[in-house]
Chain A
């Protein structure tokens, strides 16, 4: 089956710094990628939808200037958390959708902001 990877799997950063998370579709081209946030023992909340070559669409309440999404190619999307604060600590999950609209999920990235 299709594989989606995320890098890094775990990152610790200091408050005020920025951190970039990569999401790659390894064996298929993803027309659309999604970014989710998952708090401990809670569900996944969609943050934004990104389509290759165009601006991401953010869900209501998600700060687009804080969570920068770039979908530069059909196999790579990045999420940059800018000026991170402890409340940004969370588990970030991406998914990628292929041409027949099957959605595949990455293993997630745990972000800890100290």
Chain B
């Protein structure tokens, strides 16, 4: 069965520090992978997605993610975190192709210390 695991429930980093959020997936076919951010009172916003091609994908707000098939991972990274990055981050895998259906991980709540 398809599933997404985000091992870290909470992460706290200092402003300006680098960030890596982990995501592992289980899916039999070629995965379509996504990272979303959820801020209070706002809908989920797509940070980036991977369908095929270059395994290092660039997203909005300075985020990037690397797809590693051998590790079934799609970790999200940012070299320097800003206080406004504090939010909930969700990794998701699209099943049955593209955006047909999304399976979400449990989410990682990011706190940023000044």
The residues of B that contact A97 with a CB separation of less than 8 Å are 99
A93 / chain B contacts, CB cutoff of 8 Å = 43-44
Number of interface residues of B (CB under 8 A): 19
| Cα of A65 to Cα of B103 in the assembled complex, Å | 24
Bitwise, B80-106 to A at CB < 8 A (1) or not (0) is: 000000000010000000111111111
Asked if A67 is at the interface (CB within 8 A of a chain B CB), the reply is: no
Chain B nearest CB: distance from A7 CB in Å? 13
The 8 Å CB contact of B99, one of A4, A101, A107, is A101
Interface size class of A (residues with CB under 8 A): 20 to 34
Q: Mark A96-114, 1 if CB is under 8 A from B, else 0.
A: 0100011111111000000
Name B residues whose Cβ lies closer than 8 Å to a Cβ of A. Answer: 36, 41-46, 90, 98-107, 109
